[in-house]
Amino acid sequence: MAEDLDELLDEVESKFCSPDPLRLDMVERPRGGGGVLSNDRNRAEAKENLRSTEAFKKEDDLDSLINEIFEEPNFDKKHFKLKSKSSGNTSVRASIRGLGKSCSPVYLGGSAVPCGIGTNTSQRACDRLRCVACDFWVVSYDDHRWDRSCDYLFFRNNMPEFHKLKTKLVKKKGTRAYACQCSWRTIEDLTDLQTDHQLHWVCGKH
């Protein structure tokens, strides 16, 4: 009887004390008499060992997750990367805008003068005028002139809404009515903008 118990213990130690707990289910049942009680005890020990190893695994997994959270990506860095990308796009857009051509010299003209980029060889009326005094784009209306009753307050209060401005527009063929929020002109012939020193209009680039 004692020899059988020793054999069982040796078999349990060799099979259940192995480092791989997943193979416990495949262990053969011990042979010989009186093996029912010892077999139950062995199963209980095996289950206990399996539970403990699973618990250790879970703890290890939790530890690794916690370490990943603290060691892994710094969200601020990603955020800064995104910011730098957006700022890069802005600078690209700005550089593209900077490549736009400006009129030189800047011309105004009546409705018979074509609009576009004005140069010494191509005398065109600029249609991208901007006022540096009031920071408004200059509007223009072909075959119209401004009524003589126009004043500063009229443009100050009504720019750039056409349905309000048209109350002071008078039809006249061949003329072009220009206006920003602080200045207005009726032009009939090709005119160099530099000759009118009261206007603060510049070419806003095409």
Q: Which has the higher per-residue pLDDT, 61 or 124?
A: 124
115 pLDDT exceeds 50? yes
Query: Which of 37-41, 91-95, 97-101, 170-174 bottoms out in mean pLDDT, i.e. has the lowest?
Result: 91-95
pLDDT band at 33 (very low <50, low <70, confident <90, very high): very low
- Strands of the sheet with 139-146, listed across from one edge: 139-146, 169-179, 184-187
Q: 47 vs 125, which has greater pLDDT?
A: 125
The CB density around residue 127, as the number of other CB atoms within 10 Å, is 18
Judge whether 35 lies within some domain: no
**CA–CA separation, 201 vs 130, rounded Å?**
5
Q: Is the pLDDT of residue 31 over 60?
A: no
Task: Confirm if 140 and 127 have CB atoms less than 8 A apart.
Answer: yes
> Rounded CA gap, 204 and 32, in Å?
103
Q: pLDDT for 138-148, tens place per residue?
A: 999 999 999 99
Residue 36 lies in a domain: no
Tell me if 133 is assigned to some domain. Answer: yes
**pTM (whole model) above 0.75:** no
Domain range for 143: 107-203
Condensed to tens digits (0 to 9), the pLDDT of residues 178-200 reads 999 999 999 999 999 999 999 99
C-alpha span between 32 and 39 (Å, rounded): 11
Q: What is the pLDDT of residue 40?
A: 61
| Domain count of the fold of the chain | 1
Residue 129 pairs with which residues in a beta bridge? Answer: 203
Angle of the 35-71 helix axis to the 2-16 helix axis, nearest 10: 20
> Can you tell me the mean pLDDT for 120-143?
95
The average confidence (pLDDT) of the chain is 76
**5, part of any domain:** no
**In angstroms, rounded to a whole number, what is the distance separating the alpha carbons of residues 43 and 27?**
10
The answer as to whether 93 is a domain residue is no
Share of the chain above pLDDT 70, in %: 54
Confidence of residue 112 (pLDDT cuts 50, 70, 90): very high
The model's pLDDT over 47-101, given as tens digits with 9 standing for 90+, comes to 566 555 555 555 566 666 666 665 544 444 444 444 444 444 554 555 455 468 8
Q: Would you say 177 and 184 are in contact if contact means Cβ atoms under 8 Å apart? A: yes
Overall average pLDDT of the 6-22 stretch: 63
